[in-house]
Structure 1
Amino acid sequence: MPGKVVSREEWLTARKELLVKEKAAVRAQEAFNAQLRNDFPMVKVEKEYTFEDLKGKYTLADLFQGRKQLIVYHFMLGPDDEAGCSGCSFLADNLPSTLTHLNAANTTLVLVSRAPIAKIEQYKKRMGWEFPWYSSFGSEFNWDFQVSIDEAVSSPATYNYKPMEKPYKGELPGLSVFYKEGEDLFHTYSTYARGLDGILVTHQLLDMTPIGRQHIDWKRHDEYETETK
C-alpha cells in the first residue's frame, strides 16, 4: 500500500494543500519557458551540414521543410550499432503520434542519427515509426552538438555542458532547437540527459499514480514479454 487511507474530507484537505505546490511548480515552468522564449540568446549556424534519407541529401536548412522552427532529436544509433538505443526508443514512443499540430505551429520535428540511412530505415521499420529520420553520417553535426563522443578526438569530452568524468566513445541522447530567419539559421537551445525528461509522457503520467515510475528498465516496445490469459 503506497499511502495511508483517509476519509474523503481528509483527502480533499490534503489535495488542496498539494494544489498550492502544484500551481507553484506550473508557474515556475511557465517562467522558465518565458525566459527561454524571450530572454535566452541564440547563435548563428555558420557551418554547413549534410544529411541523408532514402530520397537524397539535404542541408540543415532543408530539414526545416519550409517552416520557421526545427526540433532535432539526437537518436543514439551509431554506425556500428546493431539496434537503436532502448532509452531513445522509449523516448521516440513518447513523441506525438501525429506531427500535424507541431507543423501547424510552424515547427518541424525530425530524428537524426550518425548511422548510415540503410541501418536507420531498417530499425525504423522494425519499430513502426513514421517520423522523418535522417542520417548525419560523414557530417560533423553530431560531434558539434555533443552527442557523438570520442575522447581521442576531443579530450576531455564534453556532454551536458561539462567535462565527462569517465572516458567515453559513442553516441549520447539530446535534443536541439533551431530557428530560421530568411536564409539565416540559428541554434537556440539544446538539452541532454535529465533535461529530456519533460517530453517523456509515460513518465509524466506515471508521476501522477500512487506507485510512480517504479524504476522500470524500459525496453524497446517489441521486447516486452506478452502476457497470456
Structure 2
Amino acid sequence: MPGKVVSKEEWLVARKELLAKEKAATRARDELYGALRSDFPMVKLEKEYHFTGPNGQVTLGDIAGGNKQLIVYHFMLSPDDEVGCTGCSFLADNLPSSLGHLNSRDTALVLVSRAPLEKIEKFKTRMGWDFPWYSSFGSDFNYDFHASLDSDVTPPEYNYKPSKRTSKGEAPGLSVFFKEGDDIFHTYSTYERGLDILLGTHTLLDLTPLGRQDENGPVDWKLHDEY
C-alpha cells in the first residue's frame, strides 16, 4: 500500500506543503515558456522539403496550410517498419482528439515519418487516429532535424550532442516552425524527456498513489489495441 494513513488534519498540512511546491513549479514553467515565446531566436530555412500526403506531394509550407505556426512530431516509423514505435504510439494517443483549438490559434499539428505513405496509412487506420500524417520518404527532413540517425547521411546528433548510437534508425522528436509569407523559420525542437510534457496520461497518473507504474521503462508501453 503506497503512502501512510494519517488523520485528516495531518493530510491537510501535507497537502498545503505540496501545493506551495506545485505553485512554484507552475510559476517557473510560466517563466520558462514565456521567455521562449518572447525572445527565443529562429532560423530561416534555406532548403525546401517535400513530403507525400493523401493529396500528393506537398512542401512544409503546404503542410502548415493557412496557419502561421506548424508543430511536427517526428514519429518513429521507418521505411522498413510495418508497425510504429510503441513509445511514439503512446505519445500519439495523448495528442488532442480535436485540433480545432490549435487551429483557432493559427497552429497546425502533424506527424511525419520516413515510411512510405501506404505504410503510414495502414498503421494509422489500425490505431484509429485521424491527425494529418505525412511521409518524408526520400527527403532529408528527418536527418536535418536529427530524428533519423545515419552516419552515411550526416554526423549523428541527438538532443544537441553527438549520438553514441552505432546503428542506423529513427528517434523521437518534435519540431516547431513559423511561416511568414513564403518564408519558413525553425523555432524549436525537443527530444527525449523534453517530450514528456505531451503525455497527459502520465500527468494524470502522477496524481495517483501508484503513479506511472512504469518501473521497467518503455517496455511497459504497448499499442493501445494490445492491452
TM-score, normalised to structure 1's length?
Answer: 0.95
Which residue of structure 2 aligns with residue 171 of structure 1? 170
Which residue of structure 2 aligns with residue 153 of structure 1? 153
Counterpart secondary structure, 1:198: helix
- CA drift of 1:182 comes to 1.7
Aligned length: 223
Which residue of structure 2 aligns with residue 135 of structure 1? 135
Verify: 1:201 aligned to 2:192, yes or no.
no
Q: Give distance in 2, aligned partners of 1:53 and 1:139.
A: 13
Percent identical pairs in the alignment equals 69
Letter in 1 for 2:191: Y
- CA drift of 1:152 comes to 3.1
Q: Give distance in 2, aligned partners of 1:208 and 1:168.
A: 38
Paired residues of 2:143 and 2:153 also in contact (CA < 8 A): no
- CA drift of 1:168 comes to 2.7
- CA drift of 1:19 comes to 0.8
Q: Give distance in 1, aligned partners of 2:153 and 2:78.
A: 16
Which residue of structure 2 aligns with residue 227 of structure 1? none
Q: Give distance in 2, aligned partners of 1:97 and 1:70.
A: 17
Q: Give the root-mean-square deviation of aligned CA atoms.
A: 0.9
Gaps of 5+ in 2: none
- CA drift of 1:54 comes to 2.3
Paired residues of 2:45 and 2:184 also in contact (CA < 8 A): yes
**1:84-95 to 2 correspondences below 5 Å:** 84-95=84-95
Gaps of 5+ in 1: 225-229
TM-score, normalised to structure 2's length?
Answer: 0.96
Letter in 2 for 1:152: D
Counterpart secondary structure, 2:112: strand
Q: Give distance in 2, aligned partners of 1:75 and 1:89.
A: 8
- CA drift of 1:92 comes to 0.3
Verify: 1:55 aligned to 2:55, yes or no.
yes
Q: Give distance in 1, aligned partners of 2:179 and 2:82.
A: 35
Q: Give distance in 1, aligned partners of 2:47 and 2:104.
A: 29
Which residue of structure 2 aligns with residue 220 of structure 1? 223
TM-superposition CA deviations, 1:37-59 (whole Å, max 9, x none) = 01210000110100111211101
Q: Give distance in 1, aligned partners of 2:131 and 2:137.
A: 18
